[in-house]
Amino acid sequence: MFRIGQKCPNPSVLTTIGLFELHKYFGQNWSIILSHPADFTPVCTTELSSLARLQSEFEKRETKVICLSVDSLEDHNLWKQDIEHYAECKVNYPLIADADGSVSEELGMLDPSQRDKGALQAVRAVYFISPDKKIRAVIAYPMSTGRNFDEIIRVLDSLQLHWKRGDIVTPSDWLPGQKVLVKPNEIVPDDAISPDLPSKKAYINFINC
């Protein structure tokens, strides 16, 4: 899989909304690529249904979403009907058809354990991509565990906030509206809240943002 800070490749992709280059679809937005193991599987159906229900949340954040698996366009279009039925809403994001696995391989999303067995299957992963087309976060899950989309949105919020305010970082379990932390080696504002630590080192400094 790709590492944080690497440039996202720009393959031409065949999708449920047409053929285009990945970067052209992203434009100047934040973007998320979600790969899934296979169409017509239970965990993946619940995941893409959750994603469909949350499309307005990604739109608020001016974030493009696209999904990928080693399946045909015909399968994607048929499975999309199942997703919409289960989600009780339309699927407006595209699904990349990648029957030969070439796009998954270029993006570093092929499952090596399955490839060793002679099978093609994408991992269950998420890439968060900034407007400069660099990968800013990567989350990977096992086949048995469905993704938590509240966490995906939380990570996106944190990344976007740090993109705007490079002097701050977010603490564990942070949610929008809560206090953030001053990034190490940055000037600490006078109104920062700093706990009195046994080490006497003032490296934890909370501020409003």
Per residue in 36-85, pLDDT tens? 999 999 999 999 999 999 999 999 999 999 999 999 999 999 999 999 99
Looking at 67, 89, 111, 132, which residue is catalytic? Answer: 132
Neighbouring C-beta atoms of residue 206, cutoff 10 Å: 16
Which of 8, 39, 44, 111 is catalytic? The answer is 44
* pTM beyond 0.85: yes
Tell me which residue of 5, 42, 11, 26 sits closest to 144, measured CA to CA.
42
Respond yes or no: is residue 132 known to be catalytic: yes
Q: Do 172 and 141 fall into the same domain?
A: no
Structural domain includes residue 120: yes
Regarding whether 95 and 36 lie in a shared domain, the answer is yes
> 147, 175, 195: which is the final residue of a domain?
147
> Do both 123 and 93 map to the same domain?
yes
- 89 in catalytic set: no
Let me know whether 102 and 70 are in one domain. yes
**22 conformational bin, left if phi > 0, alpha if psi -120 to 50, beta if neither:** alpha
Contact 79/39 with Cβ under 8 angstroms? yes
Question: What phi and psi values does residue 151 have, to the nearest 5 degrees?
Answer: -70, -40
Domain that holds residue 111: 12-147
Same domain, yes or no: 169 and 107: no
Same domain flag for 134 and 185: no
Listed in sequence order, the residues at least 6 apart from 24 whose beta carbon sits closer than 8 Å to its beta carbon are none
pLDDT at position 114 over 80: no
